[in-house]
Amino acid sequence: VPGTPFAVVAGAGPAEIPLLGGTLLVNLAAAQVWASASQQFDASGKASLDLPLHPGLAGTQHYLQWFGYDGSTLLLTFSNALGVDVIL
């Protein structure tokens, strides 16, 4: 939904965990979450987020998923998971 906040979770493995009417597809063991009120979908429903990468991540695999919040209820929107191989 344009103008609504979102969060991104990244972890080292996949999962399938029921959560608030959706499915969490990222294993939360050692996961990182990026969330801020300033992270919002633009008018076309798109967003971007810079994620920190460092040389120690080379050769590793990570799974990412975003969550959208409609701002008025406890309704979350879940994306599909994205598997990423880090090559630096």
Query: pLDDT tens-digit profile of 9-57?
Result: 888 889 998 987 888 899 988 888 887 777 788 888 777 777 777 888 8
Q: Return the amino acid letter for 10.
A: A
Distance CA 45, CA 67 (A): 13
Closest CA to 62 of 85, 88, 32, 30: 85
How far are the Cα atoms of 2, 62, 83 from residue 21, in angstroms, in the given order?
21, 24, 22
CA angle 41, 61, 76 (to 5 degrees): 30
For residue 86, the model assigns a pLDDT of: 77
72-88 pLDDT, tens digit per residue, is: 666 677 888 778 777 76
First-to-last CA distance in the chain?
Answer: 33
Q: Is the pLDDT of residue 4 over 70?
A: yes
pTM: 0.70
For residue 73, the model assigns a pLDDT of: 63
